Structure 1
């Protein structure tokens, strides 16, 4: 049986507290001082070049507009320094040739003209490899770094994002080969733009638009505006349900199923045998969830100071404070009280300590096994339409992608599930996305 073609991307996992930095990294030693490997260009170049060696579609950078805090203190295990994505990718454009370059940029705290110009510039510099991961924010904590503060109601974040993307596309469409371009006159609920775009039409016309969001509003936004969806559904059943729901929304907007690629973020752990892979996966979890990190995970759920709690003892007896602002800058996934009850049940069932419960409950390894087994699992997800491909998040930074490229990619290629060479030059070529047709007249709001 011929497998469906698989799309692959690599995520640089440098903005979370579960990243394990390689002590024996093949890259140059980390620089001394604040930031270390997190802001070392060698870290970015190693992972990006590995992804390009593996013929991946694109390299993906997250964004952090404010560091997380515990009771007014910076999260100790958070990374020190979060580089601005487009700046890093502009530098990587000179060190890579075919790999797509995807930046996460917030649609709440930016303006369409300025960001459309920066993305088009990256598309020119990279000869058509730019992508924009659209994210939104409604919290006043992040907004304190910006003049407007937390002005945006939660219900308005997708309406602003949708208009933001539409306005950026009007600007890109108004560009002309000679740079003169058509005038733009956009007047909407959130933006008013009157002028001309200051760049020639970029190689892709529109940089690829990526969207991450699983809510009903996020799914609808993806169906109307995105080229790629970055989702977090990990099981085959959940992936198939999400895939069918989002793809079924496309015809109402004049789009075909192949016009939108669904790529969940996944992890992998390899071993020469299945048992060794499982042992490696558990060792990774132990390294990620140190005693101190376990307490931070508990504080995120309970919303109280647990600095005196014994991570090797039982879970906290107190109930979570659902109105707490003790932990700020993290996205909450679910009701803390329900999560605490699930963790207590898990702890009681298996006789686990606080730290062991966190390790068990927050396991993130998506595919665990031998290279052949991992390849088969991934092919099954794509063939059964739970995904069009995957955004790989290696646990070990910056060398964690190397084993996948060296040991799994060749198997995917042998199975006919993945390319053996780049056949195009732009990111749209890699993803099989149609080129947007330029407008013949100025965009209107």
Structure 2
């Protein structure tokens, strides 16, 4: 694991990418009461991994997914402030919520919160952490010449917060970090998620892979910023993007097909179908037709801890749509999952990928992309060697890092500058 993470991070930095992103799961997912077989390697602690990567990189941003439902502001703020110091101002926080009691069983408080309360807690969590980050702001540092230590005013780090979800007071024990606060990412696509991003985030993920859908999402989220006194350039739209790269477009298309077939085995296809049917489908032939029975729409779900379950809000309608697609295209269960599941956003030669990526950005469908290679740790190598130079030749991607912090890389202002701008307006 150490070799994989270091190799991946160093390749990203060699390509002059903005940041490396780590997802996180607080519990191993289950299917039918058994651990999902693709999860057996687990999810190591985010801060430990990012701290280790800070030691072997100099410029690359370090983004970690940290949950706001089952953590507390003081400990998370302390960890991010420490990481920001350790990395020289390269930390970022992907703020997420947990939606199910299954995950909550790992925690003392347990249970889960309704969606409106999850976002209410997340927003207050982030605001409270911001108060902690800012609690050292503006205090004088005084050097003690005799002992070589540094002293601050006794009020440095003092904080008091009283709200719906948190009632805390004390003294934050990590001084102001290079970025002031970590860069904040948000991943929600719901109405609440988009508002949360518009009010509080520096970047939001997008799941929209087509140009038209990407433009619609981009326009919707950016237009929300004005009511919070923010400019469009103060929130970045960053879709996740898988890719298949080869010397020619035809070879890339063939590679994309082969990758998808390797990613979706027969067993994986049946597991995916169970997300919608909410039934044990292990007796079905993945190379055969879809089940003729309807999904079970009960509250108890066969799949636990998977975000995909929430994507299918109307299982009956989804099953009907999939049956029609399978019949029209003569698809088996496996064929259907291959053709309707996550697919490569960009497929083609280096020139095709460079053109398509730039077209999306120029057409206001995104401000950039979070690349998701289909293999690690070497999945970024070919992109770094063949596509990045073409983007650099076009003048649309950096040839060298021009700042020291992640905010510099992303073109985001320091929080103090944002505050001063708002105060002056």
The DSSP-based 3-state class of the residue aligned with 2:41 is coil
RMSD: 1.4
Q: 1: CA distance between counterparts of 2:134 and 2:386? A: 42
Secondary structure of the equivalent of 2:39?
A: coil
Match for residue 397 of structure 2?
418
TM-score by length of 2: 0.92
- Structure 2 partner of 1:232: 207
Counterpart in the other structure of 1:385: 364
1:393-404 matched pairs, under 5 angstroms: 393-404=372-383
Q: What are the Cα deviations for residues 202-237 of structure 1, in whole angstroms up to 9, with x where unaligned?
A: 000011000001111101000110001111111111
**Aligned equivalent of 1:205, options 159, 163, 180:** 180
Match of 1:333 among 302, 308, 311: 311
Distance 1:315 1:151, change over 3 A: closer
Structure 1 gap segments, 5+ residues each: 1-39, 441-445
Q: Distance in 1 between matches of 2:368 and 2:286?
A: 38
Deviation digits for residues 304-361 of structure 1 (CA, Å, limit 9, x no counterpart): 1111111111111111112241111112202222221221111101111111111111
Aligned to 1:19: none
The separation in 2 between residues aligned to 1:329 and 1:82, in whole angstroms, is 13
Which moves more between the two structures, 324-333 or 61-70?
Answer: 324-333
Greater helix fraction, Structure 1 or Structure 2: 2
Structure with the bigger RCO (C-alpha within 8 Å, sep 6+) is 1
Q: 2:13 aligns with which of 52, 63, 73?
A: 52
Runs ≥4 residues deviating over 3 A: 176-180
Q: Work out the CA distance in 1 between the residues paired with 2:324 and 2:379.
A: 34
The correspondence for 1:71, drawn from 25, 32, 38, is 32
Superposed CA deviations along residues 398-426 of structure 1, whole A, max 9, x for unmatched, are 21111111110000000111000000000
Residues 259 and 433 in structure 1, CA contact (< 8 A), matched pair in contact too: yes
Distance 1:80 1:309 in 2: 28
Q: How far has the Cα of 1:138 moved from its partner?
A: 2.6
Superposition pairs of residues 79-90 of structure 1, within 5 angstroms: 79-90=40-51
- Are 2:194 and 1:219 equivalent residues in the alignment? yes
Structure 2: where are the runs of 5+ without partners?
Answer: 142-151, 421-425
**Pairing partner for 2:348 from 335, 353, 369:** 369
Q: Are the counterparts in 1 of residues 157 and 173 from structure 2 also a CA contact under 8 Å?
A: no
CA distance in 2, matches of 1:137, 1:292: 27
Q: CA offset at residue 99 of structure 1?
A: 0.2
Comparing 407-416 with 266-275, greater Cα deviation is found at 266-275
Indicate yes or no: 2:116 matched with 1:138. no
The 2-side partners of 1:247 and 1:101 are apart by: 25
Q: Is the 8 A contact 1:86 1:103 kept in 2?
A: yes
* Alignment-derived partner of residue 271 in structure 1: 246
TM-score (norm 1): 0.88
Larger radius of gyration between Structure 1 and Structure 2: 2
Aligned to 2:123: 162
Aligned to 2:160: 185
Shift in Å, 1:137: 1.2
Question: Quick one: distance in 2 between partners of 1:302 and 1:427?
Answer: 43
Q: Aligned residues, how many?
A: 401
